[in-house]
Chains A and B, each alone.
Chain A
């Protein structure tokens, strides 16, 4: 099997905050209506996490489960564990209407770190960051493309489509230019 490669090969930028592309990261989109029998077991089997509440992301070690919409969850886990997790989900949701897809290679993931990391995103998204709560997963846009982000470990993690990874890296780098602090 070929080696997994992230979208930008781990590109980095040092400005008033540091930006780095991380990954490859295992990601599963799980679609099932709230209340589906076996849904909690499926999320737990893949991530060890409880079912996240509305707009929340729950973490267990290197795995996480995020609420994306009333019938969509984003499961994050080590890249090599996706196949086993999909099997666990299929077993937990057997006979239930659901969809679970490996989207690891369809996404790019960034970390924005430093005391002023929020300012990098404030310039790019129409989001009230003062009201963003700990553990809140916010879906919005970064300039012209869809993005989801949350605060974690003294910075932010941002997920976007892989096809716009270079665009988002450019956005984040420009937004983090030294001297352009808010």
Chain B
């Protein structure tokens, strides 16, 4: 079972109270980009076995989107943070690196 603490309302929400939103920190390629860039933005996702930064929505709760860093293989959660964050916060990156030295970063 996956439990993520919503950074907006503080509820420790169980997976069924949340809606998954896929990979976080995507760089948008819109008008003016190449076909390859746009295709990658639309369809290409990392889907790693291991550390992953994801978007989640507290759907049965406050309704807000937030971001979470977790391991897709063990469900270990490294932290959750606000959606208005361009990259994982330093303290969460530290935590991941301490536990998963082989991690190559979120991008």
Chain A interface residues toward B at CB < 8 A: 54-55, 68-70, 72, 126, 128, 138-141, 146
CA distance A141 to B14 in the complex (A): 11
Q: How far is the CB of A133 from chain B (nearest CB, A)?
A: 12
Which residues does chain B contribute within 8 Å of A126, judged by CB atoms? Answer: 14, 16-17
Which residues does chain B contribute within 8 Å of A141, judged by CB atoms? Answer: 16-17, 60
How many contacts A-B (CB < 8 Å)? 35
* SS class, residues of chain B in contact with chain A: loop
Q: Are A54 and B10 in contact (CB under 8 A)?
A: yes
Q: Mark B9-23, 1 if CB is under 8 A from A, else 0.
A: 111101011000000
Q: How far is the CB of B36 from chain A (nearest CB, A)?
A: 39
Q: Are A140 and B9 in contact (CB under 8 A)?
A: no
Q: Across chains A and B, which 4 residue pairs bring their CB atoms closest together, nearest first? A: A69-B62, A126-B14, A141-B60, A139-B61
CA distance A72 to B9 in the complex (A): 11
Q: Are A68 and B62 in contact (CB under 8 A)?
A: yes
Chain A residue with the shortest CB-CB distance to B62: A69
Q: Are B8 and A69 in contact (CB under 8 A)?
A: yes
Judged by a CB distance under 8 angstroms, whether B25 is at the interface is: no
Chain B residue with the shortest CB-CB distance to A146: B60
